[in-house]
A and B are shown apart, each in its own frame.
Chain A
Amino acid sequence: MKHTIASIIGMIILFSTTSVDAQEMVDIKRREFKIKDQKEGFKEAWKSIKDGNDYYEEGIGTFHLALDHYLFADQYNSSNAELNYKIGICYLYGDDKIKSLDYFLKAYELKADVSHEILLQIGRAYHHNLEFDKAKKFYLQYKSSLEMDEEIIQLSASVDKLIAECASGKEIIQSPKRVMLQNLGENVNSPYDDYNPRFSYGDTALFFTSRRPFDKRSKRNPVDNKYNEDIYISSLTDGEYGPARRMDKPFYTKGNESIVGIAPDGESVFMYVGAKNGGEIKRVYFRSDKGKWKRPKSLPRRVRSDFMETTTTLSPDGSKLYFVSANDELSVGGKDIFVSELNEKGKWSEPKGVGGVINSKYDEEGVYLANNGKTLYFASKGHNTMGGYDIFKSDLEERDYWGQPENLGYPINTPDDEVFYVTDSSDVYGYYSTIREGGFGGKDLYKVVMLGSEKEVIALTKNDLIAGFEYNEIDPFLTVPELLQVDTSLLVSGLVRDTVGGSDTVVMAGLTFIDIASGEIAKKTMSGKDGTYKVRLPEAKTYGVEINATGYLYFLDILDLSGHDTDELAEADFYLQRIEVGTKVVLDNIYFETGKSVLTVDSYEALDQVVQLLEDNSSVKIEIAGHTDNTGSKSVNKRLSEARAKAVMDYIVGRGISNSRLEYAGYADEQPVAPNDTPEGREMNRRVEFEILSK
């Protein structure tokens, strides 16, 4: 089907890539479609094919209806090449382009020459599936299958363009943009094409173009068999869109119309009005005094041309008008973006191209200047589009110089046509129309949220790195206190008296206190001339007391102070016996080896007392006498007692006492001091004693 340029032109027709491609008519032959030996279902299926063909021939606008019938027929016979091909075409020119691939491949498999364009269509199907390498392969195959004439050369150039788009596409999808596309919802979108959004001043409403039928009288455009374009408006309150309604006059005509620009001050809008000669942009002013819109006025003569002007945008200060024109006298190639400036007299300048970096040798369309006045959005089939029109943006770098256009990337752009990208007053969010899975049908309006790079929310931990302490963890007694040395000493005092003189006689003597338990000397002291002594003994315990004084026999006794209150003075008087001739002293603690006269070591202490006595009293002479009890032989006893007495004398002499002062004798049992008829008596009789002989 050829598209008639002379028909009333709508906006979308002007930019639609698909509408201008030639489509070869492919017939489904009845005898080929009918399955041998399978009559059942054929009748209904064939009727569907005929119905589908009717819709198919009407144009793109009813392809979706043709598709329904073809798919029904496909259930009867899914192996008909022509049917598969036509299903593929319906998909390719409809909303679900990627579904066309399987059908084209199947058609090709069934019949390689099902259509002269099968290779091209497969290439396009792969293209829409983002399988660029495979798309390129089939494009090249298609291109090589062409026979060269002028028309084919042009077609070949188109195929080259497609291959170039594949290369761009392959690179673009390597770095997909992180973006969120939000469908504006059922209050805005319809099952038909909805596109070209424009926000009113202050974002209080959204204008857009829709090809939905308004009522039963709505007419289809013969070019593509879709309903004519009308302008719709949806109110916007707190981010919620109200149900869209078609705008009335002056925005409604019997043909196609579309809002293509809104003045920054909101006092006027630009609308495209379709016409037989291609249409033009008109400006519609709002009369605030009357609260209504005036009749649309054509753009100034300088701005409009004999060619088509499609979309337009005003700079924020209203001094520059950017617009798209098909003025091939001035364009670089196809439709270009032009700019005209308002001078101080209120006149618009001659339009000039917006700059070589913006306008390509292919069509540009859908120009829009962001509210900041520094970012220009437009669609282009040139630059590095990945297919059809892609959305680009350029930033103003110097006065009137626009920077290198940047493709907005995938998934905003796809191999299909993306046109009419605008922003709201914030310039943060973008809006455009596209076909996406989950849409309402046809092109839908979407909000674009650019999300920047991938980010992650940050989870947190919390630490308590310092361990304190519990008071009961630390031992208050890290060091155990030590016991004090308690003063256990005891003060002892008393008198040393003469036994003969009684209490009136005092003696100067040397006192030695011996710790009975340890045998160690605890203290030594002397009594004074008055006979008193005072001594501090270590403890209240039992002591042995030795007292020596000149002229007196040595004194040995036990002083038991245990239990005595150490805070109280202890008193102990001692009585000494004078040395008198004839005085006898039994030597206690003298021990001999059994039956012998050998002194044991234990005897020395007592004998030392005798030695001391003799040293202290240098004139004293003594006799040492050995005695026994009456048991045993008298002669033996005699010899033993004598020997023992001698042994004692020898010891004393050995200690330095002159033997002239000593005598010894053995008396056996001749001088008993106790009866021998008792063991105790006999023990007492077995003794060594000394007698003072002279002093």
Chain B
Amino acid sequence: MGSRYFTLIFLLSLSIVLKAQLSQKNERQFSRSYNEGVEAVQNERYTDAVAAFTEALKFNPASAKAFLNRGRSRAVKGSFDEALLDIDQALSVDPNLAEAHFYKAYFIFDTDTSGLVEDHLKTAIDLGFEHAEAYYFLGLNYLNNENEDKALINFNKAIELKDDYALVYHNRAGIKRNMGDYSGSLYDYKASVNYREHFPQAFCNMGSLKMVLGDYEGAIEDFTKSIEQDPDHYLAYNSRGYGFYQMGELEKAASDFKRALEIKLDFMEPKLNTACVLTKEGNYSEAIEIMDEVILENPEEGILYSNRGLIKEMNGDLIGACEDWSKALELGEESVEEYLKECN
């Protein structure tokens, strides 16, 4: 009996030893493969990195970091769906992996409608992921949900962490503009293009701000710069045309509006603006024709009815003008109330 007991103990111990030896072996092999993956990442060999992390996971299927890094490697290669699956796996293994929360948010940013982006980003930050990008995305998320106050807070933080973050400066500029802080907005736009030379959107928006400030010449320079950087920037063409229009350079304005429409056929603003140019030139009939077309395409835009009414009035059709102004008022365009006083 005693010898059996001891035999049993011996065999049990042996198995434990053998098992320990085996998991130690797996751990070693896991580490080696994992490190191969890391070296591959460091040398930008992402295909090799994916293979190495995959190998590592065979030895340790519960490695959150292996999932995370494989996911990130896949993301570099453009396989975002697979990357997301890996991130999800990482999180299921280790819900406190800060980086995984960040990348989860990053990968679902465009498709999330249920607030998960905000949750994951906040969690990442709470878990110590102090990177400018996290604050940037959180701010961007708030901005997309029209919460400018919170967006601003996060953009400020992002810039604290990374003071050459052009995207952040740009978006913060937009918020400041909406808040009426024009000088602050202009500063940020300048910073954004300073840190990122090729930024047509920023040049365009900076030009737009300058127009608000009455600096049409400066604005036109910026729009031109935007167009140089992106020859298909229809917003810049339209805005530059608007600048020319305000300065009375109608031919240049018309040319820019035309170009904007060539790039984007269903762009309402340059069509409307073309009608404005024609109106300035006294070509009311043609202007009205264009407005008819624009209204057909955008029947719920009160400003269009208001404008068409103005053109009709200038053309002597006061009854037609009054009808349009009434419609504009129905659609919420309160500015026509003054015009309607002309109508019986």
Contacts and interface: CB of A to CB of B under 8 A. Distances in A.
A195 to B, nearest CB: 21
Contact of A465 (B42, B205, B268, B316): B205
A601 interface: no
Interface residues of B, number: 75
Given A466-B140, A477-B41, A486 B310 contact: no
Contacts of A466: 140, 143-144, 171, 174
Please indicate which of the listed interface residues A469, A477, A479 has the most CB atoms of chain B within 10 Å of its own CB: A477
Interface stretch (A146-154, A448-456, A608-616, A666-674): A448-456
B76 A477 contact: yes
A6 interface: no
B48 interface: no
B276 A457 contact: yes
B35 A483 contact: yes
A447 to B, nearest CB: 8
B325 to A, nearest CB: 11
Q: Please report whether the interface of chain B is mostly helix, strand, loop or mixed according to DSSP.
A: helix
A467 B151 CA distance: 13
A486 B35 contact: yes
Contacts of A502: none
Interface in A418-450: 426-429, 447, 449-450
B69 interface: yes
B344 A461 contact: no
A370 to B, nearest CB: 9
Interface string A460-491: 11111111110101101111111111111000
Contacts of A22: none
Contact of A455 (B37, B201, B313, B318): B313
A459 B171 contact: no
Chain A interface residue count: which class? 35 or more
Contact of B235 (A450, A464, A482): A464
Nearest to A450: B342
B104 interface: no
Given A452-B341, A465-B177, A182 B316 contact: yes
A461 B316 contact: no
B32 A567 contact: no
Please indicate which of the listed interface residues B34, B38, B131, B342 has the most CB atoms of chain A within 10 Å of its own CB: B342
Contacts of A372: 344
B65 A460 contact: no
B133 interface: yes
A517 interface: no
Given A451-B314, A480-B41, A459 B31 contact: no
Contact of A461 (B174, B211, B306): B211
A481 B167 contact: no
9 contacts: A450-B318, A458-B306, A459-B276, A463-B239, A466-B140, A466-B171, A467-B201, A469-B167, A487-B28
Which 7 pairs of residues, A with B, have the shortest CB-CB distance? A465-B174, A452-B342, A486-B31, A476-B72, A476-B75, A484-B31, A459-B276
Interface of B: 24-25, 27-28, 31-32, 34-35, 37-39, 41-42, 65, 69, 72-73, 75-76, 80, 83, 99, 102-103, 106, 131, 133, 140, 143-144, 167, 170-171, 173-174, 177-178, 201-202, 204-205, 208, 211, 235, 238-239, 242, 245-246, 267-269, 272-273, 275-276, 279, 303, 306-307, 310-311, 313-314, 316-319, 322, 338-339, 341-344
